Every structure is written in C-alpha cells, then in structure tokens.
Amino acid sequence: MKKLIFLIVIALVLSACNSNSSHAKELNDLEKKYNAHIGVYALNTKSGKEVKFNSDKRFAYASTSKAINSAILLEQVPYNKLNKKVHINKDDIVAYSPILEKYVGKDITLKELIEASMTYSDNTANNKIIKEIGGIKKVKQRLKELGDKVTNPVRYEIELNYYSPKSKKDTSTPAAFGKTLNKLIANGKLSKKNKNFLLDLMFNNKNGDTLIKDGVPKDYKVADKSGQAITYASRNDVAFVYPKGQSEPIVLVIFTNKDNKSDKPNDKLISETAKSVMKEF
C-alpha cells in the first residue's frame, strides 16, 4: 500500500512538472518571438489549480487597476445609493476621458462613473472613483486588508501610466493582482447586485476584444479589464474567464512589457499567451 501511494504521488508530481514545463516553454518562446516580457497568474476558483509564469515579477498595472478601484467603491456604496451625484469641473478632466469630457460643469452619478471607467477606460472617471473612496491611501489600506502588500498605488491618472522599471510606483505582480481580484470580486464581500453590475460591465468592456477574449475558446465567457501604460510597451489584460458549463471563474492576469522605453505593444502577445495558459485548464 505504501509503495502504491508513493508511486501515485510521484506520478502526480511528474504530471505537474510536465504541465508546467509545457506552458513555460510556450511562454518562453512567445517572449522571444515578441522580444517581450510576460507575467501570468491564473487561478481556477473551482478546483484551486494555479498556473504561474514570472508571477512575482513587477509590471505596470495601468488601467487594469480600474477594476480594483471600482470594486472597492462598490464595497462601500450599496447598489441603491449609486445614484449619488458628483460634480465635474473643467480642471478634473485629464487625457483620454471620452465620457467625462462631456460632463464638464454637470453632475454625474457614481454608477455612471463606474460605467465610464470600466466600459470605456475613462481616466477622469477613475480619478473621481479613487477620490470617492477617500484617496489613494484608502485604496492602499484596503489592499493591505486583503493581504496585498505588493500592489503599490501612488499616482492618479494619467501619471500612473508612466512606468519605469527602476520604480515600484503603480506596479504589481501577476500573483498579487490576481489574488486580490479573487478576494475582492470573485469571492469578496460585494453584494450580489454590485458584483453582477461590475461583472456585466467587464463582459461588455469595449477595449478587450483583441486580448484574452481572442485567445480563449469562443464558447467561453470573458469579463475583462485591459490596460496600457505609455512607456515600455506595457500592455495588460485581467479577466474572469468562465469555461462552458462552469459557474466559478478562472481568474487570469496577463501583464507584458518590453525593454525599451519607446517600444510599442502587440495585442497578439496577450491573446497567444491566454491561449497557451488556458490549455492547462
């Protein structure tokens, strides 16, 4: 019996090693193909299985943080209170604010702020959400309460998108970010209405069709939030991926960048990475 148990354990270990080496080789090949760096963390919230690749390496999180900020605000505000209005001044408007630029001198509800931030990646909306939470310090405090001492919010939009590999400002690791997404959204304390509201916005994200969605099987459902920093070809996508027939999501974080400050990203890198990683599930 002991010998049988030993052989089963060895078989499982070898199976895991083969699986990890398989996706690791493919991702190493993708890094060479695109002359880029890839960071991945994936968690099947049903089985607990994880897939990692450079999961503890720091990357700029860019606009993927809008998912976290929106979720923190939704923890604080019940669904029936999201009609609270905030005023938008001309001085509030920053670059890439396709929705909020139409609200100068007007009021907008918290619900509309979250919709603008999550669906159109509106930068001014993200700033207003952070301020409604209580500022960057409050965001960081909530992250620490969730056990995330890695994700490091420091600046508002659009400055947070100026990434430097020499700085930890506005960076995270795929593992830290993915675990926070799980604790905050997939298995957090959001009310059912607020959780469904946020996930519906992520399902309808206007900026993610060429990223994770493009790399997973077509019958999978994907709720994602993309991000792109201004420097070092930083391009990201984070998602809750629902395989056909599965109600519990796979949390998938893909962060990428390159070595040169002026390099440009390629969305195919993320879609091909997603395709490789999803083979493990």
- Encode pLDDT of 34-76 as tens digits: 999 999 999 999 999 999 999 999 999 999 999 999 999 999 9
Contact 230, 205 (CB under 8 A): no
- Encode pLDDT of 74-123 as tens digits: 999 999 999 999 999 999 999 999 999 999 999 999 999 999 999 999 99
Confidence at 23, pLDDT banded by 50, 70, 90: confident
Give the pLDDT score at 20: 53
Give the pLDDT score at 21: 60
* Predicted confidence (pLDDT) at residue 3 exceeds the cutoff of 60: no
Give the pLDDT score at 22: 74
* Predicted confidence (pLDDT) at residue 206 exceeds the cutoff of 90: no
Contact 181, 206 (CB under 8 A): no
Separation CA 26–CA 12 (nearest Å): 22
- What ranges do the domains of the chain cover? 34-278
Give the pLDDT score at 18: 38
- Encode pLDDT of 137-176 as tens digits: 999 999 999 999 999 999 999 999 999 999 999 999 999 9
* Mean pLDDT score of the chain: 93
Give the pLDDT score at 10: 45
Give the pLDDT score at 103: 98
Separation CA 170–CA 160 (nearest Å): 6
Q: Which of 36, 34, 60, 27 is CA-nearest to residue 259?
A: 36
Separation CA 216–CA 266 (nearest Å): 17
Give the pLDDT score at 37: 98
How many Cβ atoms sit within 10 Å of the Cβ of residue 164? Answer: 14
The average pLDDT across 126-133 equals 99
* Predicted confidence (pLDDT) at residue 232 exceeds the cutoff of 60: yes
Separation CA 201–CA 184 (nearest Å): 16
Give the pLDDT score at 72: 99
Pick the CATH number of 34-278 from 3.40.47.10, 3.40.710.10, 2.40.128.720, 3.40.50.720: 3.40.710.10
* Predicted confidence (pLDDT) at residue 8 exceeds the cutoff of 50: no
63 is catalytic: yes
Q: Would strands 37-44 and 250-257 be described as parallel, antiparallel, or unpaired?
A: antiparallel
Give the pLDDT score at 274: 98
- Residue of 63, 172, 226, 276 marked active site: 63
Give the pLDDT score at 15: 39
Give Cα separations from 133 to 136, 160, 235 (angstroms). 8, 18, 26
Confidence at 215, pLDDT banded by 50, 70, 90: very high
Contact 72, 183 (CB under 8 A): no
Extended beta strands in 34-88, E state: 37-44, 50-53, 59-60, 85-87
